Structure 1
Amino acid sequence: MIVYGIPNCNTVKKARVWLDENGFSPEFHDFKKKGITAEKLSEWCEVFGWEVVLNKKGTTWKKLSPEVQQNVIDQKTAVEVLLQNNSAIKRPVVEVDGRAVLISFSEEQYSAALK
């Protein structure tokens, strides 16, 4: 299991605590330090949809220029923006056996998917 995110994100913290408390010991991939690939982002977009992977509610998205925001019209353009602004990725993303299974954090979703 791999948890992708950034360590100071409250949602990532909640997910990691839940995983630890429920007996999981995931590897943590800090995409601020380790980066993220276009291939990985595309995989996640295939699973969750690019509109979900791109966090439009976050500060990073809101700080982007209107021109940049308006140019995000599909998966390809979303991935391009996310590569340049990885704090705009919805997080955390949890992969099990190399497959993305969860995005963001909800105790109910984690329980259903992982127990």
Structure 2
Amino acid sequence: MSQPLFLCHPRCSTCAKARTWMNDHGIAYVERDIRTDNPTVEELTRWHAVSGLPIRRFFNTSGQLYRSMGLKDKLPSMSDADAIALLATDGMLVKRPLLIIGDDVDAPTAVLVGFRQPEWESALLV
């Protein structure tokens, strides 16, 4: 298996926990700053499909930008395509960390949104 793609924000404490956990378990990964190299519409569309999660889970609901844009009230009436297009405009809207797992970054086998240690253990420690 190729190295997972780890999308994170350098100052995010949850991302730091995920990074430390991977380092402690000897898991090699490729790191990408979600703020300076935010996911594209195409990437988010693929990742959303693979994840099986509702699109709302891809939003950083505790972020300042999410709150200032009033997305709590707007998101329920948005289509998935519109929500993905919005996510692609600013990496700070995207829940982090994101971990993209698989041999082909264009066709991942798993997408983990946020750091939930049991999920990461199941996906990475096989």
- Interval containing the TM-score (normalised by the shorter chain): 0.7 to 0.9
- Asked whether the 8 Å contact 1:45–1:75 carries over to 2, the reply is no
Q: Detail structure 1 runs of 4+ shifted over 3 Å in the superposition.
A: none
Equivalence for 2:34: 31
2:84 and 2:62 map into 1 onto residues whose CA distance is 17
1:30-109 aligned at under 5 Å gives the runs 30-46=33-49, 47=51, 48-65=53-70, 70=74, 73-97=78-102, 98=105, 99=108, 100-109=110-119
1:25 and 1:35 map into 2 onto residues whose CA distance is 21
- Asked whether the 8 Å contact 1:93–1:102 carries over to 2, the reply is yes
TM-score, with structure 1 as normaliser: 0.86
Q: Deviations over 1:37-67 (max 9, x none)?
A: 110111222223211112223222001146x
Matched residue type, 1:41: L
| 1:2 lines up with 2:12 in the alignment | no
Q: Deviations over 1:5-59 (max 9, x none)?
A: 2111111111011000001121101122223211011122222321111222322
Q: How many residues in Structure 1 have an aligned counterpart in Structure 2?
A: 114
Identity of aligned residues (%): 23
Within the candidate set 14, 29, 35, 1:11 is matched to: 14
Q: CA RMSD in A?
A: 2.0
TM-score, with structure 2 as normaliser: 0.79
> Gaps spanning 5+ residues in structure 1: where?
none
Equivalence for 2:24: 21
